Structure 1
Amino acid sequence: ALKAIETVGQILIGGQNANVEATKIATEMEERREQREQETRKLLLETSKEQMRNAQETMKENAEAFKETINAMQSSASEREKSIRERDGRNAERTNRKGKGDDLCECGGKTVYEERIRRS
């Protein structure tokens, strides 16, 4: 009978050890899962930050390109205005008129210069 009690005791102790071991394994697995989730969240956050930086950089580049385009358009308009004024001045000199394109045209009270700008 003592042998049987001893055997039952060993079985119980073995069962307790198995439970302790199973609990350890479950705890380790849970910790690993939480660690993987944290790493995944960290990677997602880093990716989002990188995408945000890329978007900001692209917006900055687009703004600079837009400014360059506007400057080129303004420069082109200034050159066109200058060219029209010079042409009007030459025309006024050729016909011995004063005002170099500032005289009124027959188009509703605008100057010759203004009308040429409107048409160009």
Structure 2
Amino acid sequence: MSFNQVIKKKITGTAIKDGSRITLSVATTTTHWTRPDSAVAEVGTLLSRSVAAWQEQLPQDTTEVCSRETDHTSRTDAREHLTVVCFNTTGEGTTRHLPVSREPARPPSPEGQTCRKE
């Protein structure tokens, strides 16, 4: 296969996405490279923030989102993005580009309240 397969990964947390709880993980070994364990926490934080802000729906039956490549741009996608693999219940993966969000997710404001600057 010509694509970069995830061989080993570390779980970094969970998230609620599209009404389902999913596992978040970071690849530490692929068919092309090894990521040092010292980088996992930083990539995991970026993954968590980016999943929370992601507007697209996950592929059907996704149970885990794994960050395969950290933030970058490419010829085919000029947005700053993470390349992630969405794994389903049988372990099959679908690659997606996840736009990077560096800001923590904000909780929704209560209905009927307006925000004002003081």
The structure having more radius of gyration, on CA atoms, is 1
Higher normalized strand content (fraction of residues)? 2
Instruction: Give me the TM-score of the superposition, normalised by structure 2.
Output: 0.20
Instruction: Give me the TM-score of the superposition, normalised by structure 1.
Output: 0.20
- Say which structure, 1 or 2, has more relative contact order (CA 8 Å, 6+ apart): 2
